[in-house]
Chain A
Amino acid sequence: MAANQEIMDKDRLVTTTEQDMSDELNLKTRKYLRGDGANLETLRDKKLKGQLAVREKLYSQSAKAAAKAEKWLMPTDEGYLEPEGLEKTWMVKQESIIHEVDVISSRKPFDMILPELGPYNLQYASSGRYMLVGGRKGHLAMMDMMSMDLIKEFQVRETVRDVVFLHNEQFFAVAQKKYPYIYNRHGTEIHCLEEHGAPLKLQFLDKHFLLASVNKFAQLHYQDVSTGVIVANYRTGLGRTDVMRVNPYNAVIGLGHSGGKVTMWKPTSVKPLVTMLCHHGPVTAVAFHSGGQLMATAGMDRKIKLWDLRKFGVLNTYSGHAQTMDFSQKGLLAIGYGSRVQVWRDSGNQEYEKYMSHAMVKGYQIGKVSFRPYEDVLGIGHSMGISSILIPGSGEPNFDTWVANPYETTKQRREKEVHALLDKLQPETIMLEPSKIGTVRPPRRKERPTKKETEEEMETAVEAAKSITFKKKTKGRNKPSKRAAKKEEEVFKAKRPFLEQQMNNDRPLKKQRIAEAELPKALQRFSRKKVS
């Protein structure tokens, strides 16, 4: 009896662990599924339904395979900080962390004091290996963070407001006093981008090879750095601002303005995609979460707000100041103000709470915080140089060689550059919801397009017609009157379908109504209905 019960208990134990494992697998599989499957019940076309069912099955199989492979593919573990007893995580100081971790990691945090050359900006390359440092008074330096090597250091003798890497560590752009310049890793000036004007902030859109800048006169410029073409040039109309951030999920540029507005821009439209009134005073900092759903904004009204970018509504409001903000790969939010840095962590359900805190020497003014990708390190650029501190659990531990590789060789770098150029996205693909590419727009109900829309269409058609170039005729056939007549004819041809449509839409209603009422019943089938 007892033996039987033991066996039964064991079975139950076995099944519960199996259950846990399958639950875990389900959870992981959902991550790889990239959204819910399509609802095939509403389809009536059997052939299509069968084809789509096969595809859905393939997707679920591949997601399951990826979830299973996860166990073997992840060589590195995540970082963590677990306090014991009455300790709280924010009370832990950097010294005690450095004391506890291994040798390699204890070399990562440092303080570089460079007092003369002004507040420092810094940026990490997307692989986390290289760091670019730019001091306000013209000091530029590029460092290899893995070997703590200085690659190149030089002086440009001009105000430097921002530094940003281009697609590689081979090239970087610097926002100098009058124009942005592009340098290569040897420090040679390659390009002077005069069209941009006096830039305040630069951002690089990786997949599109676009360099975006906002200048002193609040103009937004997009330039393709692979071909050199200026893709777009817009006047924001909202005054000088130096708060600019690119949303990594959809490559949309977010600008924060002094009226408390945050506007989002894409290179193919004159007006911003979204304008949100975020704060009662000027916006001081904006940061985007890498998943594309969260935006953190801070304003002079001493509020830090978290926004949901699907509904464009406030999720949470906290009180505090922020001069600079940054999200890490794992979703931690670093906020820098004065000489203190705070790191907040999501405690479930988008509720952020204080995780760690770091205070620098009293006089230092923090200008920029930036998390280092694939490492648990936060880089701080301040008025007296640069520092970096350890934040356990902020970086993604396992990188993908084909996405970003900190251990890249020259050959791999070159291959990656070529592939990136081949896969370069056109600026038209930038949209608020990038997963909409390839989907089907729901069928429009048979509403007539509004008058404004048809007018706009007519305008564009007329513009296109006006820009047609005609072949230059010789031997006395090139009279200006004839040329003008031909041009007018083209414009009229472009306008004609719209005018016809207008006629069709406006006129027959009245006539038809009268006509239909007058006809005897047997003849009504011959009234002016379209045989479709």
Chain B
Amino acid sequence: MKVKVISRSTEEFTRERSQDLQKVFRNYDPKLRTHEKAVEYTRALNAAKLEKIFARPFIGAMDGHIDAVSCMAKNPNHLKGIFSGSMDGDIRLWDIATRKTVCQFPGHQGAVRGLTSSTDGEMLISCGTDCTVRLWKVPLLKMMDSRESDEDYSKFQPLAVYVWKHAFWAVDHQWDGPLFATAGSQVDIWDHNRSEPINTFEWGKDTVISVRFNPGEPDVIATSASDRSITLYDLRMSSPVRKLIMRTKTNAICWNPMEPMNFTAANEDCSCYSYDTRKLDEAKVVHKDHVSAVMDIDYSPTGREFVTGSYDRTVRIFPYNGDHSREIYHTKRMQRVFCVRYSCDGSYLISGSDDTNLRLWKAKSSEQMGVLLPRERKKQEYLDAVKERYKHLPEVKRIVRHRHLPKPIYKAAALRRTMIEAENKRDQKRRAHSAPGSMPVQPFRKRRIIKEDE
């Protein structure tokens, strides 16, 4: 007879010295674990609640400007710094970590309308309503401890000032070349050393209000004009490539840095439209959540989400392929948001608004910034994953979706909803009472486009 019984020796299962780690034995057999799904659901619920407890997205405000902040620029070589230009011509370089001004670039006589940084990060280009384009040399950001007072920062002189015939509305630098483009009554292409634009593009008689170079194709530009159009230009060709006319004006455009054939346009009718340049007759996604005109848009360096700032005093973060915002940031003191930027590491947003302040926010509102221990990180990832799995269940969904909205926005959103519903109902009734086929259903993504031109 062969017999064997389970026998464990204590030495094998306990540690030898108190300096050793405790021994851990795993058996992944599902039979040992009951109620797996219920436990996961409870953890998802608790994680959703904890996320709301730790959601403190606002980090701080950077004040110093004395007029509304009209534009901002990122420096690709320095994560810590951001340039901002205001409506009274004041340009400042801020250190995000200390939220203080590093240096000022005075000189513009009127509002600064566009700011951009060159590819190598050495030069800052600004343009304004005083018909000038100014080039500045960017100083290296030094250690900030040895500063006594707030006013003690250096003021710089421009490297070059180019005067031209019309006021400028926007400027953007090529991602991979020496050229930059300005937008005014037409689109001008400049070189750093020439005091006159080397090339000009024009289509129609209206002012061009924003311009953006494509991150993947160095010669493609997207612009938006006040005749409600979005135009695509190629520098190698002498004429514009494509024009798309919509129902309302586009305030800003941003290319997706990870998918350079797609761009998103921030429109006056409170939505953002994502387009594929190869197929402009239909929007890829319509991002609808703002209640007032969207003023500025910027993509995260991951290309997975973008931030928008709107006239309705809020900043929203949208997923690149989702039609509703994942997050909304608002403060009582923040007035109309004119410009937003995602920081170069994708963890922060900076918004510049009408109340002369720049505000620094976290991209993920409940994220713990700084160095996390590996166990903390794993736990956070687990909680995110378990929330993701159960976020469709009503209790979890209610908590995850919940955001406090300021009353005017809540009411404005409700009003918009009723208006849209009423319009839809009217269309449905018209369709029901007319001959079948006489009123075609227009797909939503095409609805705001009037036509496309070559």
Contacts and interface: CB of A to CB of B under 8 A. Distances in A.
B442 interface: no
Interface stretch (B33-41, B211-219, B283-291, B333-341): B33-41
Contact of B37 (A84, A96, A403, A437): A437
A425 B39 contact: yes
B7 A398 contact: no
B28 A105 contact: no
A332 to B, nearest CB: 13
B42 A101 contact: no
B22 A78 contact: no
Contact of B1 (A66, A81, A398): A81
A79 B35 contact: no
A428 to B, nearest CB: 10
B43 interface: yes
Interface stretch (B153-161, B247-255, B428-436): B428-436
A396 B27 CA distance: 10
| Best-buried of B2, B35, B41, B432 by chain A (most CB within 10 Å) | B35
A82 B39 contact: no
B338 to A, nearest CB: 35
A247 to B, nearest CB: 9
Given A79-B6, A82-B1, A207 B22 contact: no
Interface string B1-39: 111111111101110000000111111111111111111
Contacts of B41: 429, 437-438
Nearest to B389: A438
A424 B25 CA distance: 24
A527 interface: no
Contact of A105 (B5, B22, B432): B5
Nearest to B321: A47
A400 B38 contact: no
Interface stretch (A68-76, A222-230, A279-287, A447-455): A68-76
Nearest to A290: B31
A179 to B, nearest CB: 29
Contacts of A207: 34-35, 38-39
Interface string A399-424: 11111111101001000000000111
B26 A400 contact: yes
B46 interface: yes
Contacts of A470: none
A11 interface: no
Given A31-B29, A422-B46, A437 B24 contact: no
Interface string B376-403: 0000000000000110010000000000
| Best-buried of B28, B37, B43 by chain A (most CB within 10 Å) | B28
A392 B27 contact: no
Contact of B25 (A75, A108, A409): A75
B1 A423 contact: no
A73 B26 contact: yes
A401 B31 CA distance: 15
B353 to A, nearest CB: 36
B6 A423 contact: no
Contacts of A409: 22
A169 interface: no
Contacts of B6: 76-79, 105, 374-376, 395, 397
A1 interface: no
| Best-buried of B3, B8, B26, B433 by chain A (most CB within 10 Å) | B3
B1 A525 contact: no
B37 A87 contact: no
Query: Which range holds the interface residue count of chain B?
Result: 35 or more
| Best-buried of B14, B32, B46 by chain A (most CB within 10 Å) | B32
A437 B38 contact: yes
Given A105-B7, A438-B389, A401 B30 contact: no
B432 A531 contact: yes
Contact of A412 (B22, B35, B433): B22
A143 interface: no
Interface in B343-388: none
A424 to B, nearest CB: 7
B22 A403 contact: no
Contacts, number: 153
Given A66-B28, A401-B24, A390 B5 contact: yes
Contacts of B429: 531
A146 B25 contact: no
B2 A82 contact: yes
A252 B138 CA distance: 71
Contacts of A83: 1
A424 B7 contact: no
Interface in A461-488: none
B1 A96 contact: yes
A508 B5 CA distance: 76
A407 B14 contact: yes
| Best-buried of B1, B42, B433 by chain A (most CB within 10 Å) | B1
B433 A525 contact: yes
Given A101-B3, A374-B6, A400-B32, A425 B42 contact: yes
Given A399-B25, A423-B43, A438-B393, A429 B35 contact: yes
B189 to A, nearest CB: 40
A342 B4 CA distance: 19
Contacts of A434: 34-35, 37-38
| Best-buried of A96, A404, A423 by chain B (most CB within 10 Å) | A423
| Best-buried of A66, A76, A108, A375 by chain B (most CB within 10 Å) | A76
Contact of A424 (B9, B33, B42, B428): B42
B1 A248 contact: no
A313 interface: no
Contact of A102 (B7, B22, B36, B43): B7
B1 to A, nearest CB: 5
A32 B2 contact: no
Contacts of B1: 81-84, 87, 92, 96, 100
Nearest to A247: B34
Contacts of B43: 422-423
A426 to B, nearest CB: 7
Given A422-B46, A423-B42, A525-B433, A79 B4 contact: yes
A405 B8 CA distance: 13
A361 interface: no
B8 A76 contact: yes
Given A105-B7, A146-B10, A438 B39 contact: no
A401 B25 contact: yes
B26 A104 contact: no
B9 A104 contact: yes
A399 to B, nearest CB: 6
List the 6 shortest-distance A-B pairs measured between CB atoms, nearest first: A400-B27, A429-B38, A82-B2, A437-B37, A105-B5, A398-B27
Given A290-B34, A291-B31, A399-B27, 17 more contacts: A31-B30, A32-B28, A32-B30, A66-B28, A69-B28, A76-B8, A80-B2, A101-B4, A249-B34, A251-B34, A292-B34, A376-B5, A407-B10, A423-B42, A425-B35, A437-B38, A531-B428
9 contacts: A78-B4, A81-B3, A248-B34, A392-B3, A400-B27, A400-B32, A407-B13, A423-B39, A438-B41
Interface of B: 1-10, 12-14, 22-43, 46, 389-390, 393, 428-429, 432-433
